[in-house]
Amino acid sequence: PSFLQGLGDRRNLPLQTDQTYLLASDGLWHLQQPMHFVERWPTLLGNTQQALSTQLDVLFQELVSATQAEPNTRGDNCTAIAFRVRP
């Protein structure tokens, strides 16, 4: 997405307790209008009581649906790792 332009691929980020972090390949936002999908990530990954594996399944289902809804958008491979920092 445009907000990542100009940022290095590697940088130090201070991790915060009880936050969900998502590391993903560019296949997760290869859409023509990626911000419509990216803006949903906090909602899709924000339930700390739900297993991250379940949340990632939903995230990928939403990605497939978004890809199919956009004309002339081909699927792209996607890799994602999600984790939470606990106290």
Mean pLDDT, residues 65-81: 81
Handedness of CA 39, 2, 23, 74 (dihedral sign): positive
pLDDT: which is higher, 30 or 84: 84
Contacts of 51 (CB under 8 A, 6+ apart): none
pLDDT in tens, 10-61: 677 889 988 888 888 877 777 888 888 888 888 988 888 889 999 999 998 9
